[in-house]
Amino acid sequence: MARTVNCVLLGTEAEGLDYAPYPGDLGARIFDNVSKQAWQRWLAHQTMLINEYRLTPIEPEARKFLETEMEKFFFGEGSAAPKEFVPPSD
């Protein structure tokens, strides 16, 4: 039986992650409060941030920026796209 969580992003009960996707306290909060579906939304948003800001995730400053945005995405006011970002049209 799949583990369920009350997802902070979706606002509903949904299938939880199989393991903490990030180390430390933030990873534990995500594991306890974020669904698989919401985590996939974050991964897409994170990819957009990396591409738009031309981040190199191996750099400590980029990792810190992404961690801050992850916290805002799930537990804060949300992580916004850059002003210049134009979503792809389908």
Residue 38 lies in a domain: yes
In this prediction, residue 90 carries a pLDDT of 64
**CB distance 49 to 69 below 8 Å:** yes
When divided into structural domains, the chain yields a total of 1
Count, residues in the chain: 90
Q: Which residues pair with 55 in a beta bridge?
A: none
The domain containing residue 69 runs over which residues?
Answer: 4-75
**CB distance 4 to 13 below 8 Å:** yes
| Mean pLDDT of all residues in 70-88 | 84
Residue 82 lies in a domain: no
Chain centroid offset of residue 60 CA: 18
Residue 46 lies in a domain: yes
CATH of the domain at 49: 1.10.3880.10
Angle at 18 between CA 8 and CA 46, to 5 degrees: 55
| Mean pLDDT rounded to a whole number for the chain | 92
Residue 30 lies in a domain: yes
Share above pLDDT 70 across residues of the chain, in percent, rounded to a whole number: 98
In this prediction, residue 34 carries a pLDDT of 97
